[in-house]
Chain A
Amino acid sequence: DTAVSQTPKYLVTQMGNDKSIKCEQNLGHDTMYWYKQDSKKFLKIMFSYNNKELIINETVPNRFSPKSPDKAHLNLHINSLELGDSAVYFCASSQDNPGTQPQHFGDGTRLSIL
C-alpha cells in the first residue's frame, strides 16, 4: 500500500513537448513537495503546498506549474520541455507545516528529454 505514489515512473519525450507528472499521498498529510534531482545528484526543492496553498516556490522557470486539486494530490505540469529538464523528479509529503516532521518521498519520475 504505497504511501506516496508518482506516475509515470519513466517519461521519455521530445524537446518542446508539454508533460505532466502526478503525485498522490494516502498518509493524510497536509503538506506536499516537488524536488528535482539533477545529474550531480543534488536534491533541490522546487515547490511546496500546504492544504492546497503554495508556500514554497523556488527559482523555477515559469514553464513549471504545480497544481494541487486537493491536499492529497500535487501534480507537476511542464511546458515546452528543454534538454536541461532531464532529471529525476520526486514528490514528497509531510504531516504538518512547519516541516519538522520527516518528509515521505515517492519513488521518483525519471524524465528524459530527447
Chain B
Amino acid sequence: DQQVKQNSPSLSVQEGRISILNCDYTNSMFDYFLWYKKYPAEGPTFLISISSIKDKNEDGRFTVFLNKSAKHLSLHIVPSQPGDSAVYFCAAQHGSSNTGKLIFGQGTTLQVKP
C-alpha cells in the first residue's frame, strides 16, 4: 500500500524551461511534505518543504504547490538548469507523529538538456 506516489518515473526538459514534478498521496493525515534531490551514488538532500496550512512555498527557482483537496503536490523548477538533473523524491509526514517518520515516493528522474 503505497501512500505516496510519483507516477512519472522520468521527465526530460530543455534548459531554461520549467520542470514540473508531481506527487500524489492517499493519507489525509499527512500534514508536512518535503522534496529531496538525489544524485547518483549520493544520499538524498533536502530541497524544499511545505506545511499543510499553506498551498505554496517558494525558494529561489523552486516552488512547491499543495492541493489538499486533490491530495496532490507538485514541484516547479524555473528556469531548469543541467545541474538540476537528478532523482527527485517526494516525502510526507503524518501530523500526529512525533517520530519523524517520512513516507517516500519512488522518485522521478529529471533530465535537463542543455
By a beta-carbon cutoff of 8 Å, the part of chain A in contact with chain B is 4, 31, 33, 40-45, 48, 50, 55-56, 90, 92, 94, 97-108
Contacts and interface: CB of A to CB of B under 8 A. Distances in A.
Given A43-B104, A56-B99, A102 B93 contact: no
Contacts, number: 67
A55 B43 CA distance: 23
A42 B106 contact: yes
A104 B2 CA distance: 23
Contact of B99 (A40, A98, A105): A98
Contacts of A40: 106
B23 interface: no
B44 A105 contact: yes
Contacts of B34: 102
The winner among B32, B93, B106 for most chain A CB atoms within 10 A is B106
A48 B43 CA distance: 17
B46 A104 contact: yes
Interface residues of B, number: 25
Interface of B: 2, 32, 34, 36, 41-46, 49, 51, 87, 89, 91, 93, 97-102, 104, 106-107
Nearest to A93: B100
B43 A4 contact: yes
B60 to A, nearest CB: 16
A106 B44 CA distance: 8
B100 A99 contact: yes
Given A43-B104, A48-B99, A107-B41, A100 B93 contact: yes
